Structure 1
Amino acid sequence: MSTGLIFDIKKYAINDGPGIRLTVFFKGCNLQCQWCHNPESMSPKVQKMYNAKKCIGALSCIENCPNDALKMTSEGIETDYNVCNLCGTCAEVCPTKAFEMLGSNIPISDLMQKIDNEAIFFDQSGGGVTFSGGEPLMHADYLLEALKACGKRNYHRVVDTTAFASAATVLEVAEHTELFLIDLKVMDSKKHKQFTGVSNAKILSNIVALAKTNCDIIFRIPLIKGVNTSEENIRETANFINSLAGNRKVVNLLPYHNIAENKHIKLGAPTNNHVFETPDLNELTTIVALFNSVGITATVGG
């Protein structure tokens, strides 16, 4: 039986596809977007997050750590990752949940039980299951097993992806998916690699192939001022979308926010030195109008 590292399962999600949904977040991403608002999703390994603001100094974590990997400092609890084996004992015994373990291998049977428990909400709202991340296509075997199981139950299936995977994987997943939510970061390949770590050539090629299938596609564009908000990039994006087979005319615009800063601190990782900005209302209005002028329905949010 295949396994996939999952770091969160969100109930009652309303922005990850139609209706009320259960969203499954896979851990690990093969892009490293500098503006990512979920930095805890990037690593394909189990991680530990520590929130010093929640810590009350109970010291139960230190007392119960089997490897003596923790110590109290003036800044709160410090972990020595040279000896910490990420067993999760500190998170289990912490009375305020200052420690949180990120990532667990959940058997398909257990995942499907969690999904089945939400079926009543799917039926009443026209919702279903969304597989997100991180990058769900990095866990293709597990993802396909889950998608097929959902299909047998007639649950609506959404895959939220960068489309950075082999063409074979993308097309096989498409056979068991009703809707794709696909990020379009920036059209210039060099700029794409500068800010995400990879070229977008494979991504664009996969989207062209995917558009020829029966799956619905909604594009999501994280808008970062100075990175992808120029008129040139918006027009290139619109031209690409309009060149695709089928009716692919819906775009969700997602303005940048800096929620990731505190997450980096909790992960004990340095924050990104690049300061990103959120586009202002005038820029958003202009971008929406540019898309609408060429027949593409663009909305802020979604």
Structure 2
Amino acid sequence: MSGMIFDIQRFAIHDGPGIRTNVFLKGCPLRCWWCQNPEGISPKPQIMYFEYKCLHCHLCVDVCPLQAIRIDKGDVHIIDRELCDACGKCSDNCPSNALKLVGREYSVEEVMEEIRKDVTFFDSSGGGVTFTGGEPFFQPLFLKGLLEACKAEGIHTVVETSGFVSREILRKLMQYIDLFYHDIKLFDDESSSLYTGVPSKPILDNMRFLSESKRNMVIRFPVIPTITDTEENIRGIAGFLSTLRVEEIHLLPFHDVAEKYARLGMPYKMRVHEAPSRERLKEIKEVFEGIGLKVVLYG
């Protein structure tokens, strides 16, 4: 059993209780305009180019077997993303790590070897493993293998999800998940389809299903100026959450990540580049507190 991972972060403290190891699975069915991890959208490996690290030695051009890298006027590196197959030879030979291969195949056991390094910290802090992404449910068989392995070793599991997943997969895997970190972005179907690429109804239905199944769930709400922070959207979400078995919501203020998209050669649709004001965050916090939720505000 194997799957595509684009990062493993140790000693994380914001993605579940205690000290955690975060495992980032690659691939996502959503196309959120503001996605903070665009390297997790595609299910395939990709090359990231960090221009500020580049020594302009041109070794990458020499070693690329497909001639997918060329040097333009002004010594600018151009990567032909259609031609590049992310073999990794350019990143392997880059002396300054200006080129980075994002995403590689891991077996369940290889991931578990990394996780086991932190078991002592899990035990002392009440921590565990958080599977995030991308969308972890995008690789359901691999995720199931990882969750089963963690449960067999008594490791606490969190899955951070958009909720856009088939009910069949959710029903099969939820028994292995101790805590869901469940995103909610847009209440209205039309707005959700525009800004995330998928309708909101299947996501809301899955949230209700998890609530009725008495699964532990923390809600995560990205505060995106002019998109998710409208009065209509916030009131709609608050009204919906008031009907569920949830006690806590995390507010995640927007941060501009245009540079990440540029490094991946991906288009960035966001027109707003400023974070929400402290005043607006306070107003939103008060709305959710008004329905009895504990509100955690991230910076």
| TM bin (shorter chain) | over 0.9
Change beyond 3 A, Cα 1:299–1:30: same
Deviation string for 1:36-94 (max 9, x for gaps)?
Answer: 11111111111111111110122222232233332333253222345433210110111
Q: Which residue of 2 aligns with 1:47?
A: 46
**Residues 240-266 of structure 1: per-residue CA shift (max 9 Å, x gap):** 11212x3x12000011110x2001111
What corresponds to 1:106 in structure 2? 106
Structure 1 portions without partners, runs of 5+: none
Q: Which residue of 2 aligns with 1:172?
A: 172
- Over 3 Å counting, the alpha-carbon distance change for 1:107 and 1:279 in structure 2 is same
User: 1:255 maps to what in 2?
Assistant: 253
Q: What secondary structure sits across from 1:12 in the alignment? A: strand
Q: Is the 8 A contact 1:35 1:276 kept in 2?
A: no
Distance 2:92 2:158 in 1: 33
Deviation string for 1:252-293 (max 9, x for gaps)? 0011110x2001111122332533543211111111111112
Where do residues 137-148 of structure 1 align in structure 2 (5 Å cutoff)?
137-148=137-148
Gaps of 5+ in 2: none
Any conservation in 2 of the 1:242–1:249 contact (CA below 8 Å)? Answer: no
Taking only aligned residues, the RMSD between alpha carbons, in angstroms, comes to: 1.6
Which contiguous aligned blocks of 4+ residues in structure 1 show a shift greater than 6 angstroms? Answer: none
Once the two structures are TM-superposed, the CA of residue 157 in structure 1 deviates from its matched residue by 0.0
Length, aligned pairs only: 298
Displacement, 1:168? 1.3
CA distance 1:281–1:83, shift in 2 (3 Å): closer
Identity %: 38
Q: 2 CA distance for matches of 1:291 and 1:71? A: 52
CA contact (8 A) 2:238 2:291 kept: yes
- Structure 1 residues 83, 215: closer, same or farther in 2, change over 3 A? same
3-state DSSP of counterpart to 1:4:
strand
1:126 corresponds in structure 2 to: 126
Is residue 224–residue 276 contact of structure 1 (8 Å, CA) maintained in 2?
no
2:17 paired with 1:57: no
Question: Once the 2 structures are TM-superposed, how far is the Cα of residue 139 of structure 1 from its aligned partner?
Answer: 0.4
Matched, 1:188 2:188: yes
**69 and 276 in structure 1: CA distance in 2 versus 1, 3 angstrom threshold:** closer
Q: For 1:6-47, what per-residue CA distance to the aligned partner results, in whole angstroms no more than 9, with x for missing partners?
A: 111111111110111110111111010001111111111111
Report the counterpart of residue 208 of structure 1 in structure 2: 208
Query: In the alignment, residue 96 of structure 2 is paired with which amino acid?
Result: T
> Is it true that 1:285 corresponds to 2:286 in the alignment?
no
Question: What TM-score, normalized by structure 1, do the two folds share?
Answer: 0.94
Amino acid at match of 1:284: L
**Conserved? CA contact 1:241–1:249, under 8 Å:** no
Aligned position for 1:234: 234
Q: CA deviation at 1:225?
A: 1.6
